[in-house]
Structure formats: structure tokens, C-alpha cells
């Protein structure tokens, strides 16, 4: 985001798209060029341990923003202070901070960062963001007596991870969750702090470009870019599928070769009461000759013949096997 957004504190109102439930309200306003979106989230302070908003229908696929109050000066907080934690989750377990996932991506060398540092800008004041002056200004905008937990942050409309981009001009899915259980006091300023399981969850659809007619031209440009990227992505997926199929075919051919090689065994065969020559048998197989019993025995005996060809369809030799107690 540009410098004026990076250094901006809380603003009195964020006008544009909005969605309200009994649990919380969220407002969204885009810059006139449609490149950045500022979110305003509000909820009763005394009922908030933490609250999350995710870009996506469910926590397992969403770009999760988890927020909680930070009023502790020793942790960098103060009046109207907050901690913003960007997380992901691939299962219904506690979401993990994206920095941990990014560390794994970088360590594996699988590509560039999908979650670059600083992509989300928190506007709530802290010791590192404006200090006491910013905190005083924030309390003038939103007096602490109001018993409201308020968070404002800005992010790009098109994040590095395109799966989490915003789509002004059409509705998209968001998910939310909250818990009244506060984050531990000794880690309230840590974005990677442990959070308890949510008490309530939900989802909704919203067009982040709603109620902002000045965005018409910018939205059309974004939609053109999206269409171009969709064509490129379709071609990329087609190539990836073809490449995957090609590799599978090669692996299958190699597997057949390995299987044939495994069947080429060295064995000594008996033929006509004399020792036969050692030969490579490429297609050994067993043929059942008959079943019988000896005397009053209840055991069944089977006589099988192992016939081995010489790899060219000619019978090279045979072994006989007697199986008892069948």
C-alpha cells in the first residue's frame, strides 16, 4: 500500500460495502483506483476475546485475519490497540500464522512467497505505529467509553495469492468466527499467540465494491485483468495436466520393464531325469496337474508343474511341486 495508507491511523468512518450481524459489523471502502480496500470491523468489547474475518467460504480455504484487543503498554498496545494475525488452516484445527507456512515454502524452494510481509496494514495505534500521539488521536475518533472493539486494516484488492483476491463488482464469500475467551496476557502482542476454539462461526456474501459508484471504471479494468489471467491459468492447468499424464505414461512403461526384469530368474531345471542348463525364465507359470489322497489320509495333495519358457515361446524345462495339507 502507498505511504499515506501505511501511516494512516483510525478514521471516523469507512463508507462503502457493509454487512452486519448481531455478532459484528464489517464495512469496506476501496481507493478510487480500486487497488486497495480498507476494512472496518466492530464488535462489543466486553464480548470479544478474539474475532476473525476470512476471505473465503470456510476456514480451511480462507485468508484468515484474526484480531484481538491489545491494551497492554508493555506489549506495545494501549487505548484502541489491537493485534492482527494473518493465518491459514488446512483442517479444522487452530489456524497457524502464515509466516510459518512461508518458512516451509522457502525451505522447500517451491516458489515465491504467497504471503509477503506487510501485505496487510493495521491502522490501530501501537507503540510502533505512531506511539502515544496515535493512541490519543484514536481515542478521540473512537472514545474508549463506547465499549466497542474496533479494528481497521488495509490490504490489496489483488493479493499475491490470487486465490484470496477481492472481486469488486460481484459478491464473494467471507467467513467469520469469534470467541469471548481472551488471548493470554503474556502473549497479547504476539500475532502467533495461541487462541481458544471459536464459540460461534458463520459465513456471508458481500460485494466489496458496493455503494461506491466512482469505482465503475476501475472495476471494469480489474475484471478485464481477471479475464486475461483466467485464460492464462486455464492454459497453465491444461499444460500441467498434459505433463502429468506424460509422466504417468513414462512411469507406467518403466514399471512394465521393471516387472519383466523381475520375472527373469535363473533356475536349474530337470528334464528327462538329467540336469538341464541354467536359463533365464521370463514367463514362469504354475499348472495344476491333479489332486489326490494317500490311504486314509484326510489331507489333499496337489501336484503342480512349473513350466518355464526360454523367452521365445519355447518350453525350456519344468519343475514339479507337491503341496500337502491343502
Geometric angle at alpha carbon 267, from 266 and 271, rounded to 5°: 140
% the chain with pLDDT above 70: 75
The Cα–Cα gap between 324 and 320 comes to 13
How many Å apart are CA 32 and CA 148, to the nearest integer?
A: 29
pLDDT of residue 295: 52
pLDDT at 258: 72
pLDDT of residue 252: 84
Q: What percent of the chain has pLDDT over 90?
A: 52
> Residue written as cell 505512531?
130
Return the number of other C-beta atoms located less than 10 Å from residue 128's C-beta. 9
Separation CA 277–CA 104 (nearest Å): 58
Average pLDDT over residues 36-54: 97
pLDDT digit string, tens, across residues 150-180: 999 999 999 999 999 999 999 999 999 999 9
Which range has the worst mean pLDDT, 19-33, 99-113, 274-288?
274-288
pLDDT digits (tens, 9 = 90+) for 259-295: 666 655 444 444 444 444 444 444 445 455 455 555 5
- Answer whether 116's CB lies under 8 Å from 99's CB: no
Which pLDDT band holds residue 52 (cuts at 50, 70, 90)? Answer: very high
Mean pLDDT of 112-130: 86
Worst-scoring range by mean pLDDT, 52-66, 102-116, 246-260? 102-116
Confidence band, pLDDT 50/70/90 cuts, at residue 302: low
**What average pLDDT score do residues 205-219 get?**
97
Rounded-to-5 percentages of helix, strand, coil across the chain: 30, 30, 40
Pairwise CA distance, residues 178 & 151, whole Å: 14
End-to-end CA distance of the chain: 78
Cell numbers placing 109: 524452494
E strands, the chain, are 17-20, 25-30, 36-44, 50-55, 63-69, 82-88, 96-97, 121-122, 148-156, 172-179, 200-206, 265-267, 270-271, 274-275, 279-281, 285-292, 301-309, 315-323
Check residue 83 and give its pLDDT: 96
**CATH code of domain 3-233:** 2.60.40.1210
User: What is the strand order of the sheet 36-44 is part of?
Assistant: 17-20, 25-30, 36-44, 148-156, 121-122
pLDDT score of 3 more than 90: no
In sequence order, the β-bridge partners of residue 173 are 205
Residue pair 43/162 in contact (Cβ under 8 Å)? The answer is no
Who wins on pLDDT, 71 or 129? 71
Residue 276's pLDDT is 41
In the chain, residues under CATH classification 2.60.40.1210 are 3-233
Beta-bridge partners for 59: none
Amino acid at each position: 500500500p502507498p505511504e499515506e495508507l501505511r501511516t494512516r491511523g483510525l478514521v471516523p468512518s469507512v463508507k462503502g460495502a457493509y454487512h452486519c450481524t448481531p455478532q459484528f459489523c464489517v464495512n469496506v471502502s476501496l481507493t478510487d483506483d480500486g487497488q486497495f480496500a480498507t476494512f472496518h470491523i466492530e464488535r462489543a468489547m466486553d464480548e470479544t476475546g478474539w474475532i476473525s474475518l476470512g476471505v473465503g467460504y470456510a476456514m480451511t480455504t480462507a485468508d484468515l485475519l484474526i484480531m484481538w484487543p491489545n491494551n497492554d503498554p508493555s506489549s506495545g498496545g494501549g487505548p484502541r490497540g489491537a493485534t492482527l494475525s494473518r493465518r491459514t488452516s488446512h483442517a479444522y484445527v487452530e489456524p497457524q500464522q502464515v509466516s510459518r507456512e512461508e518458512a516451509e515454502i522457502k525451505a522447500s524452494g517451491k516458489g515465491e512467497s504467497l504471503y509477503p510481509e506487510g501485505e496487510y496494514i493495521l491502522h490501530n495505534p501501537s507503540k510502533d505505529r505512531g506511539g502515544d500521539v496515535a493512541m490519543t488521536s484514536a481515542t478521540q475518533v473512537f472514545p474508549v467509553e463506547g465499549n466497542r472493539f474496533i479494528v481497521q486494516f488495509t490490504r490489496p484488492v489483488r493479493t499475491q495469492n490470487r486465490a484470496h483476491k477481492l472481486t469488486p463488482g460481484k459478491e464473494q464469500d467471507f467467513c467469520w468466527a469469534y470467541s469471548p475467551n481472551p488471548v493470554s496476557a503474556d502473549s497479547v502482542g504476539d500475532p502467533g499467540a495461541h487462541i481458544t476454539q471459536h464459540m460461534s462461526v458463520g459465513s456471508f456474501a458481500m460485494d466489496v465494491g458496493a455503494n461506491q459508484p466512482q469505482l465503475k471504471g476501475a472495476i471494469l479494468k480489474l475484471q478485464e485483468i481477471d479475464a486475461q489471467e483466467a485464460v492464462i491459468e486455464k492454459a497453465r492447468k491444461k499444460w500441467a495436466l498434459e505433463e502429468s499424464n506424460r509422466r504417468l505414461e513414462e512411469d507406467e512403461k518403466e514399471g512394465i520393464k521393471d516387472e519383466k526384469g523381475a520375472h527373469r530368474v535363473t533356475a536349474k531345471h530337470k528334464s528327462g531325469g538329467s540336469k538341464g542348463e541354467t536359463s533365464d525364465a521370463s514367463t514362469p507359470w504354475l499348472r495344476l496337474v491333479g489332486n489326490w489322497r494317500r490311504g486314509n489320509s484326510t489331507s489333499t495333495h496337489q501336484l503342480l508343474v512349473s513350466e518355464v519358457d526360454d523367452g521365445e515361446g519355447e518350453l525350456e524345462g519344468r519343475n514339479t511341486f507337491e503341496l500337502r495339507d491343502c
